[in-house]
Chains A and B, each alone.
Chain A
Amino acid sequence: MSALLLLVPLALFLGGLALLLFLWTLRSRQYDDLDGAAARILYDDLPSQPRDPA
């Protein structure tokens, strides 16, 4: 019973963390170009880095 008091909140905390992570990926538009992401990973060249405009 005392194990539950620790494990259940822990499980919920981890699950909640994953949920927040998912919401963040959604908000930062990581699902907008799934085809591109799938292909991009195959090329080991450096991606075209955003250069600092300064």
Chain B
Amino acid sequence: MSALLAEAAAPAAESPHAAPAGCAHCGAPLPRGEARFCCTGCAGAHALVAGLGLDAFYRRQETAAGTLRPAEGAPETDFAALAAPGKGGTHRLELMVSGLTCGACVWLLEQALAREPDVLRARASLSARRLTVEWRGEAARANALAALVARLGFRAAPWSPACLRATEDAEGRALLRALGIAAFGMMNVMLVSVAVWAGGDMGEATRHLMHWLAALIGLPVVLVAGMPFYRSAWRSVRAGRPNMDLAVSLGIVATTAMSLSETLRNGEYTWFDGATALLALLLAGRVLDRAARRRARQAVAELLALQEGTVQRLRPEGGAEACPAAAIRAGDRILLAHGERLRLDGVLESAEALVDTAATSGESLPRLVHQGEALAAGAVNLGDPFTLRVTAAAADGSLAAMARLLERAEQARGRFVSIADKAARFYVPAAHAVALATFLGWWLWVGVSWQAALVPAVAALIITCPCGLAIAVPAVQVAASGALFRRGVLVASATALERLASAGHVVLDKTGTLTEGRPALLEEPGRPASALRRAASLARASRHPLARALVAACPDAPPAPEGVVEVPGQGLRLAAAEGEIRLGSAPFIGLAQEDEGLTMWLARPGLSPVPFRFADRLRGDAAPTVAALRGLGLEAELLSGDAPPAVEAAARAAGIGPWQARATPEGKAERIAALSVDGHRPLMVGDGINDAAALALAHVSATPEGATDLAQTAADLVLRGEGLGALPYAIRVARRAQRLARQNIAFALIYNMVAVPCAVLGYATPLIAALVMASSSIIVILNALRAGQVKTQVKT
């Protein structure tokens, strides 16, 4: 994977925007005036690495620029509670480490931790991003060790059950075990079979011995290695929907039974080689397919783990403790720090609070909440820390209700029939009918013994046994999702690509999906620069998003003067020498004017008020993406919970025709359902909790990287890295994959049309069957490899 990521990182490093020499630690472009480091965090990290004598890291690392920039602010999680006590006073901590993208990172992390005198063992897994540290001493050391990881520039999060589910792949391991056994069986049976094929002058007794040897190896192998197929086939029989695995299972069992009968009567050939080779080939396809999807699942789990954390519960007797959200009961009081996301429903106990409810309602403006008002889980605290009383435990709250809704929607979508299963539906009965007819024809019509009649019948079965067919679709999937993974598109569901290829309509959410989700200052030609500097300097005292945007627009503003007072939800005031300076909403500075929402005013004594207008800026790639989607034949529409003017402006700027504002979560889901009923096959793109139901209901869904965890769980695709811009590419890859899957299926069918008459007439020998099987599989796989070769359109 490191190679893949290095490949992905290469364009970033070569881009002309990057300064020739990046930050000495993280490699990000340097801000003006800085010589070596982009921030103090990086300087600290570099000093730490150098102090440990691990400078070699910088020669070896292959991470993307900016990945290893230490996050500002100390981590809020209390890791001590997560440390598991071991034998002899030792403790063990498992962490999910984000930013662990190359071998050098693993090396740095392990070496840096090993330098701690009390650390017994530190082991990082590159594919799972999992770090296991064991140390002797108290559990409280966990926080110091996690802080060390953070200081190096990695982001550590508790190893969550979701991570474990994504990594602990018992079924995948069972498949790999079956593949090993089948490969062993295939090669050893072949050893005997080649002797039989080549030994025309072999004596009867020797041949009988060979047959028995093949049976001795073949029977247990077929029994054990075929289990994954038999299980799936049995499930499909019970569900009344024959799938490809049923055909595979029947083919293998029939071949084995016929070979056993041939062994008993010392026939000319046995077919154990065919049965085991078929198993090995099919299992190899399965293992590859699973590995590709596991990688995507792990990446999604990593994103989710970063959002998980603990809740600060206020003890009745005073003081706060960190505990997991699941342990909080209704009636408990919790403290929400600045910037933290609320995980439970509650009623505000503090006097007021400024919260961002974009995730639950889609509103782009922060809201001032007063004491006694209810707050739904998903809101983010933008102001000072506040306390609230929890009204529902996590399992009964609004998030859990939404999760249950998602589950139901998922089940409904589980009924989607993939192209491989569609092909199996008509193919399997046809293949079995041909085999049966061959058997009856030889036995009753030609008049050979029933054992002899079995041979051509089973030969027909094994040749039709959809080797090419069963590999045709997974091989394409592997190649396509691998290509998408390299572009940062994570494909979480097995049928997602097929559904994406057939999507005909795209529904976009506004806040956070089409827009950046945070306001930015609009340029205004007549505005004096001194006013901006003054306003930005005042704004440094506030954490309100508009104030933040003001500071971002004027980064070299002087620090906030002493004595700035913030009036929550209204503005800032400063008693300066020349009189009172105010920065805030229109009513706050005494203007009778209607408040226009995203506007701030600066009032200075003796000067006319200066307005600062803000807008939630459209993402740079929004308009080109919508245009590209239209080029692909997808009509776009905007569906947002925000106020109509903002939605209309965004729709016009992005070039989207139909738009709907003030859409509730139910309203969004209904719109998606209506589109589906009309046969439009909607592709839903959204990021909020209010989008989750719509995402799960849609024919196919995608979510940008920074989305809420609920949205990421609900969506089929997570657009990491390039964001929206990768969507048209993903659709092109999906369509190409679909085309190749169809070609592969057609090819496998044509192959059968030639080979089956040969088998039915009794000309097929195990050698011919083996050649047919191997050659068709190779051709199908080679064709599938073309799935990743979609030309990247010139990006804007």
Q: Which residues of B contact A35 (CB under 8 A)?
A: 1-2, 126-127
A2–B87 Cα distance when bound, in Å, is 58
Closest Cβ–Cβ distance, residue A40 to chain B (whole Å): 6
Could you tell me the distance between the alpha carbons of A38 and B472 in the complex, rounded to whole angstroms? 29
Contact A32 B103 (CB under 8 A): no
CB pair B102–A39 under 8 Å, yes or no, is yes
CB of B617 closer than 8 Å to a CB of A: no
Mark A8-19 against chain B: 1 for CB-CB distance below 8 A, else 0. 100110011011
A19 with B184: CB separation less than 8 A = yes
Q: Are B176 and A48 in contact (CB under 8 A)?
A: no
Contacting B at CB under 8 A, from A16-54, are 16, 18-19, 22-23, 26, 31-36, 38-40, 42-43, 45, 47-48, 50-51, 53-54
- Contact between A36 and B106, CB atoms less than 8 A apart: yes
How many angstroms between the C-alpha atoms of A36 and B113 in the bound complex?
Answer: 17
Residue among B107, B113, B122 making CB contact with A45, cutoff 8 Å:
B107
Chain B contacts for A26, CB-based, 8 A: 173, 176-177, 180
Q: Which A residues lie within 8 Å of B180 (CB)?
A: 19, 22-23, 26
Using CB atoms, name the residue of chain A closest to B86.
A53
Measured between alpha carbons, how far is A18 from B217 in the docked complex, in Å?
15
Picked from A23, A38, A39, A42, the residue with its CB within 8 Å of the CB of B177 is A23
0/1 interface trace, chain B 1-27, chain A, CB 8 Å (1 if under):
110000000000000000000000000
- Tell me if B177 and A54 are in contact (CB < 8 A): no
Kindly list chain B residues whose C-beta atoms are within 8 Å of the C-beta of A33.
125-128
Report yes or no: A36 in contact with B103, Cβ–Cβ below 8 A: yes
Within 8 A of A (CB), among B81-98: 86-88, 90
The size bracket of the interface on A is: 20 to 34
Query: B462 on the interface (CB 8 Å rule)?
Result: no
Query: Roughly how many angstroms separate A26 CA and B124 CA in the complex, as a whole number?
Result: 19
Residue interface mask B118-154, A partner, CB < 8 A = 1: 0011111111100000101000000000000000000
Q: What is the minimal beta-carbon distance from B560 to any residue of chain A, in angstroms?
A: 46
B191 within 8 A of A: yes
Query: Does A1 touch B at the CB level, under 8 Å?
Result: yes
Cα–Cα distance between A19 and B178 once the two chains are bound (Å): 11
**Interfacial chain B residues near A43, Cβ < 8 Å:** 60, 103-104, 107
CB neighbours of A16 from chain B (8 A): 184
Known pairs A23-B177, A35-B2; A12 contacts B103 (CB<8 A): no
The residue that B110 contacts in the complex, of A11, A18, A19, A48, with Cβ under 8 A, is A48
Q: Which of B174-191 touch A at CB < 8 Å?
A: 176-177, 180-181, 184, 187-188, 191
Q: How far is the CB of A10 from the nearest CB of chain B, in Å?
A: 11
Closest to B54 in A: A45
B104, B113, B213: the one contacting A48 at CB < 8 Å is B113
Chain A residues near B120: list those with CB within 8 A: 50-51, 53
Cβ-defined contact, A31 with B107, below 8 A? no
A51-B120, A53-B87, A53-B90 known; A36+B191 contact, CB < 8 A = no
B206 close to A (CB within 8 Å): yes
Give the distance to chain A from B671, nearest Cβ to Cβ, in Å.
42
Chain A residues within an 8 Å CB radius of B124 = 36
Cα separation A43 to B217 with both chains bound (whole Å): 42
Q: Within the assembled complex, what's the spacing in Å between the Cα atoms of A33 and B129? A: 9
On whether A54 and B88 interact (CB within 8 A), knowing A22-B180, A23-B180, A43-B107, the answer reads yes
The interface residues of chain A lying within 8 Å CB-to-CB of B126 are 33, 35-36, 39
CB proximity of B285 to chain A, nearest CB, Å? 17
Known: A15-B187, A22-B180, A23-B177. A39 touches B127 (CB 8 A): no
A32 to B125: give the CA distance in the assembly, Å.
8
Q: Do A36 and B88 touch across chains, with their CB atoms under 8 A apart? A: no
Contact of A53 among B1, B104, B113, B136 (CB under 8 A): B136
Known contacts A15-B187, A48-B113, A53-B90; is A32 also within 8 Å of B213 by CB? no
Number of A-B contacts (CB under 8 A): 86
Judge if B564 is at the interface, Cβ distance under 8 Å: no
The answer to the question of B350 belonging to the interface, with a C-beta cut-off of 8 Å to chain A, is: no
A15 with B2, Cβ < 8 A, contacts A36-B125, A43-B107, A48-B114 known: no
Nearest-CB residue, chain B, relative to A16: B184
**Most B CB atoms within 10 A — which of A18, A39, A40?**
A39
Given A33-B126, A45-B111, A11 contacting B188 (CB threshold 8 A): yes
In the complex, chain B residues whose CB is within 8 Å of the CB of A15:
184, 187-188
- The smallest beta-carbon distance between B188 and chain A, in angstroms, is 5
Residues of A within 8 A of B123 (CB): 48
Identity of the chain A residue whose Cβ is nearest the Cβ of B136 in the assembled complex? A53
**A51–B121 CB distance below 8 A:** yes
Contacts of A31 in B (CB 8 A): 173, 176
Chain A residues whose C-beta falls within 8 Å of the C-beta of B209 in the assembled complex = 4
Residues of B within 8 A of A11 (CB): 188, 191
A50 touches B121 (CB 8 A): yes
Q: Chain A residues near B217 (CB, 8 Å)?
A: 12
CB distance from A43 to the nearest CB of B (A): 5
Segment 188-225 of B: residues with Cβ below 8 Å from A? 188, 191-192, 206, 209, 213, 217
Supposing A12-B217, A32-B125, A35-B1 touch, asked if A40 and B103 sit within 8 A by C-beta, the answer is yes
Residues of B near A23 (CB, < 8 A) are 177, 180
- Tell me which residues across on chain A come within 8 A of B104, comparing CB atoms: 39, 43
Chain B 606-624 near chain A by CB (<8 Å), digits 1 or 0: 0000000000000000000
Contact with A along B511-540 (1 / 0, CB 8 A): 000000000000000000000000000000
With known contacts A15-B184, A51-B120, A32–B127 Cβ distance under 8 A: yes
Given contacts A33-B126, A35-B1, contact A12 B188 (CB under 8 A): yes
CB neighbours of A51 from chain B (8 A) = 120-121
| Chain B residues within 8 Å of A50, by CB | 120-121, 134
Can you give 24 contacting A-B residue pairs, CB < 8 Å?
A1-B206, A4-B206, A8-B192, A8-B213, A11-B191, A15-B187, A15-B188, A18-B184, A22-B180, A22-B184, A23-B177, A26-B176, A32-B125, A32-B127, A33-B125, A38-B2, A39-B2, A45-B107, A45-B111, A47-B110, A48-B122, A50-B121, A53-B86, A53-B88
4 other contacts beyond A33-B128, A38-B2, with CB at 8 A cut-off? Answer: A4-B209, A11-B191, A36-B106, A39-B103
- Chain B positions within 8 Å of A, measured between CB atoms, are 1-2, 60, 86-88, 90, 102-104, 106-107, 110-111, 113-114, 120-128, 134, 136, 167, 173, 176-177, 180-181, 184, 187-188, 191-192, 206, 209, 213, 217
Q: Which 6 A-B pairs have the closest CB atoms?
A: A39-B103, A36-B126, A48-B114, A33-B125, A35-B1, A35-B126
